[in-house]
Structure 1
Amino acid sequence: MARRTRVRPFGAGIPAGRTLSLVLLLFIVGLCVLRARQPGFWTWLAIDDSRQLVLTDHDLPQNQFHTTVKAHKASAETGPASQVINNTLPDEWSSFSNEAQPIEDRQALQQVDMPAYWRLMSWTKSESFLDLLQRANPQVLFVNLWEEPQVHRGQPVRLRLNVRRVLSYQAGENNLGITQLYEAWGWTTDSKSFPYVVVFPELPAGLPLGADVNAEVEFAGYFLKVMAYDAYETRRGAPLLIGQLRLLQPTATNSPTWPKPREMILWAVGIFAAIGLAIAFGIRQFRQSHPSLPVITTSNNSETIRPSLVEQTEAPTVSTPPTFENQLTQIPQERSSSTELNNTLTPLPDAEKTPSASNDQAWFNVSDSTAQTSGGIDLFAQPSRPKPPSAER
């Protein structure tokens, strides 16, 4: 039986529907990779809603936060300040160095950390934001605080934070007159998905509270320690700083943020590519529903391939081409039939013996019975011509 193979203009490897689905899937994966490269996308992994700056179990009961810890009795110089006190004063720095000795990095905030904690808060309250910003070091990176916390402890640091969370809580007992404290979590360009924790006594105007904030702020304050916290059953660490901050740009809730030009270009290219693929897929489906493609017909007895145009609803008519052996068997049969036909021919009498014969008379006659049995006249036979009368004269 003949085998019919349809020629596909786009190849017969993968169907068009699967190809289009694969391309769209790759496009979606590319967008996800592009979005995942942004550090702010992973901040929700590093911050847990249920966590605060927790103490160890032996310091506080379970579910108690560091805000309930009573502040250490401040000395006379750490009371409500009428003059600027900071790390530049020798007495202040000496007192802070003694209070910071029991601090352990990469551990939760503990009771022994609170004297140094409130001393840094008093330095922050006694100095304006601009003065503190001028003295702060902008070259300190996340890796510096993580690898060398002893070197930078108590030193002013300047950060440009992308804040994603701002919390508020009641301050513990203290001699500074502070009743409310604020805590912000954010990342910088060098820290990527690793967050900073900054504590400040005053909330800037325009900075909202909540677990889903999108704002850019500038922070200036003192580094205390690398604090450990629990996030999704994983122990993590973040630098803890105490200072002041100011808002640099409106939050996402106040003004819409437009995509960057690069993102807009990528989105435009992706949309046009998807439209082009959809058009190509539609054209392909239309051609398949209205086929006018050649069909290759292959015979079982021969390797000859004859392309022919057929309709999709009709089966093609397959004709077996003659072979060389069949032609050789047909030649003797044709010769035998011509010989039998010649034997049935009856020549006419000679023109001299039959005066009534004319030139218009037929050269030979074929009997009806012979013509019916032979099935035709052999055109290759050579009948005898009668001689014209002029030739004998």
Structure 2
Amino acid sequence: MARRTRVRPFGAGIPAGRTLSLVLLLFIVGLCVLRARQPGFWTWLAIDDSRQLVLTDDDLPQNQLHTTVKAHKASAETGPASQVINNTHPDEWSSFSNEAQPIEDRQALQQVDMPAYWRLMSWAKSESFLDLLQRANPQVLFVNLWEEPQVHRGQPVRLRLNVRRVLSYQAGDNNLGITQLYEAWGWTTDSKSFPYVVVFPELPAGLHLGADINAEVEFAGYFLKVMAYDAYETRRGAPLLIGQLRLLQPTATNSPTWPKPRELILWAGGILAAIGLAIAFGIRQYRQSHPSMAAIITNTSETVRPSLVEQTEVPTASTPSTIENQLTQIPQETTSSTESNNTLTVLADAEKTTSASNDQPWFNVSDSTAQTSGGIDLFAQPFRPKSPSAEK
């Protein structure tokens, strides 16, 4: 009789199918968590191709975007970038402080912001990238620029950006000799899905223009303001910085982003592990529901043998074997009535011919041939005493 299996809330009592489903669910959840940790996964929430100025209807110019704001001529005080000028010069810093007074954070880029805009551009162009990178502060985070823009305005900042879009537009009239400006949108590790906007006068080699870029760059420049923009009918803000950048990793334009070899190994290992677990649990469940023939024969023999031992009697010298009893049982039953009649007839004849003086028994009773029923062998041959004439 098969043993009844008790289903427990844990351990071997759980069906293999449920365990496999739980393992696969945990695997899928882990992949989703790893994917969600990447900042690029959430950029569609923060970046929109249509960035309109966040102004009132009266102040909003017709068909005016950030990329089409006319560039004002650089102030005569800035002059051509023939020497190194930056925020460390007292005169330059004083002029910038006066020009930055009307700047409003969390608003779109406006005409009153352009004098300070071009002064920062002259500072960035007059200095080499490595010098600017050494002076830039790498500890400034997105939250610092968002919460305290007045403190960091005009200060050099260092960023490591994951760029997703690079645009180009005409610079307009200026004293710096700049005809083309470039604008890049990207995020850092701390900003997650909240983007930065950086403007630079020269496009590094290998960095392409487009709205679907995947490149890693290093930026060093000056913070101007928190610029507002609209994305999915929601007001958002992005720190606007002006400076220079260099490309750290190759870029891809309008092409799918292929995972890195390390990611491919992790994905392949996870898929193979899931397949292996599925095969192992499937084999286990199949064996539990479809036992082999050898196991069935073994279980059957172990179940039947004790009953046969209990029912079978050990043959003795006085007891014939079981097979012989089975073979002789039917003939004995059919002839029992005839033999009993013959025995009674023999007994009657013996009574008529017996002698009173003879004490010998008139039939033999052998202990060795006595049967279990009554202790008398009903089939023994009767003893007939000899007559005196026969003896002569």
Contact 1:168 1:183 in 2 (8 A): yes
Greater alpha carbon shift after TM alignment, 376-385 vs 363-372: 363-372
Contact 1:291 1:312 in 2 (8 A): no
Greater alpha carbon shift after TM alignment, 324-333 vs 97-106: 324-333
Structure 1 residues 352 and 182, CA gap change in structure 2 (3 angstroms): same
Structure 1 residues 306 and 99, CA gap change in structure 2 (3 angstroms): farther
The Cα offsets for residues 349-385 of structure 1, whole Å up to 9 and x where unpaired, read as 3745445999999999999999999999999999999
The Cα offsets for residues 175-216 of structure 1, whole Å up to 9 and x where unpaired, read as 333222111112222222222110111101111111221212
Structure 1 residues 112 and 283, CA gap change in structure 2 (3 angstroms): same
Counterparts of 2:368 and 2:319 in 1: how far apart (Å)?
Answer: 35
Structure 2: runs of 5 or more not aligned: none
Contact 2:167 2:183 in 1 (8 A): yes
- Deviation, structure 1 residue 322: 27
Structure 1 residues 163 and 297, CA gap change in structure 2 (3 angstroms): same
Greater alpha carbon shift after TM alignment, 10-19 vs 375-384: 375-384
Contact 1:224 1:242 in 2 (8 A): yes
Counterparts of 1:323 and 1:102 in 2: how far apart (Å)?
Answer: 119
Contact 1:55 1:109 in 2 (8 A): no
Contact 1:165 1:213 in 2 (8 A): yes
Structure 1 residues 392 and 323, CA gap change in structure 2 (3 angstroms): closer
- Deviation, structure 1 residue 4: 12
The Cα offsets for residues 108-156 of structure 1, whole Å up to 9 and x where unpaired, read as 2222222211221122222222222222222222222122111110011
The Cα offsets for residues 317-364 of structure 1, whole Å up to 9 and x where unpaired, read as 999999999999999999999999999988933745445999999999
Residue matched to 1:179: 179
Structure 1 residues 21 and 309, CA gap change in structure 2 (3 angstroms): farther
Contact 2:51 2:66 in 1 (8 A): no
Greater alpha carbon shift after TM alignment, 238-247 vs 169-178: 169-178
Greater alpha carbon shift after TM alignment, 147-156 vs 285-294: 285-294
Q: Which has more helix, going by share of residues?
A: 2
Structure 1 residues 250 and 5, CA gap change in structure 2 (3 angstroms): closer
Residue matched to 1:6: 6
Greater alpha carbon shift after TM alignment, 99-108 vs 368-377: 368-377
The Cα offsets for residues 18-57 of structure 1, whole Å up to 9 and x where unpaired, read as 6545543432222121111122222232111222666654
TM superposition score normalised by structure 1: 0.69
Contact 2:219 2:245 in 1 (8 A): yes
TM superposition score normalised by structure 2: 0.69
Counterparts of 1:318 and 1:200 in 2: how far apart (Å)?
Answer: 117
Contact 1:140 1:157 in 2 (8 A): yes
Residue matched to 2:314: 315
- Deviation, structure 1 residue 74: 3.1
Counterparts of 2:165 and 2:320 in 1: how far apart (Å)?
Answer: 84
Greater alpha carbon shift after TM alignment, 359-368 vs 320-329: 320-329
Residue matched to 1:137: 137
Contact 2:87 2:93 in 1 (8 A): yes
Greater alpha carbon shift after TM alignment, 303-312 vs 166-175: 303-312
Residue matched to 2:341: 342
Structure 1 residues 386 and 270, CA gap change in structure 2 (3 angstroms): farther
Greater alpha carbon shift after TM alignment, 75-84 vs 348-357: 348-357
Contact 1:215 1:249 in 2 (8 A): yes
Structure 1 residues 7 and 94, CA gap change in structure 2 (3 angstroms): closer
The Cα offsets for residues 203-250 of structure 1, whole Å up to 9 and x where unpaired, read as 011111112212121111100011122222222221110011111222
Structure 1 residues 69 and 340, CA gap change in structure 2 (3 angstroms): farther
Count residues in correspondence.
Answer: 392
Greater alpha carbon shift after TM alignment, 63-72 vs 320-329: 320-329
Q: CA RMSD in A?
A: 9.7
Greater alpha carbon shift after TM alignment, 152-161 vs 103-112: 103-112
* Identity, % of aligned positions: 92
Greater alpha carbon shift after TM alignment, 271-280 vs 312-321: 312-321
SS of the equivalent of 1:295 reads helix
Greater alpha carbon shift after TM alignment, 32-41 vs 3-12: 3-12
The Cα offsets for residues 295-333 of structure 1, whole Å up to 9 and x where unpaired, read as 9999x9999999999999999999999999999999999
Contact 1:4 1:297 in 2 (8 A): no
Contact 2:163 2:184 in 1 (8 A): yes
